[in-house]
A and B are shown apart, each in its own frame.
Chain A
């Protein structure tokens, strides 16, 4: 997983990195184990945090439309990552945000379709801007 590989860069930049997924702690533990991830993974079966973060539900076109599929294939080719097991609401999209110590959301990138995912480089760039 790209974020896991970039975890030390996040640590050097002074940020705590946490992943939040749907489903249960055993699912999260299985994900960490199979992916070899050391990052904390929180389980949000009720998707409370997804809603509070403003994450959206996708339309069918935003999940499986031709542009989304092409972008997904390009991402697989570029990053050599494959979509893993989907658990929970299939239409639930994710995203990323940087929260400052005062609770301000300094930067966010919430997905507009299934292929719209912020890269670690984009997140680190936002973090660099916050530190500057």
Chain B
């Protein structure tokens, strides 16, 4: 139901952001942002939202 997992999982954050670095996502204006750009010159806090609100 709702696409929920049938068995309990555990969050598995990696130690490095290499797997995130090359992902390109559009921003709210449709401009593509390569995630590594976010931390190339200063630390970045990335927050994955479960919902918009």
Contacts and interface: CB of A to CB of B under 8 A. Distances in A.
B5 A21 contact: no
A105 B17 contact: yes
Name the prevailing secondary structure of the B interface residues. loop
B43 to A, nearest CB: 5
Interface residues of A, number: 73
Nearest to A48: B23
Given A25-B29, A43-B26, A93-B50, 6 more contacts: A31-B53, A35-B52, A56-B5, A84-B51, A95-B11, A101-B40
Interface of A: 1, 3, 10, 14-25, 27-32, 35, 40-44, 48-50, 52-60, 62-63, 82-87, 89-101, 103-106, 108, 110-112, 114, 117, 123, 127, 130
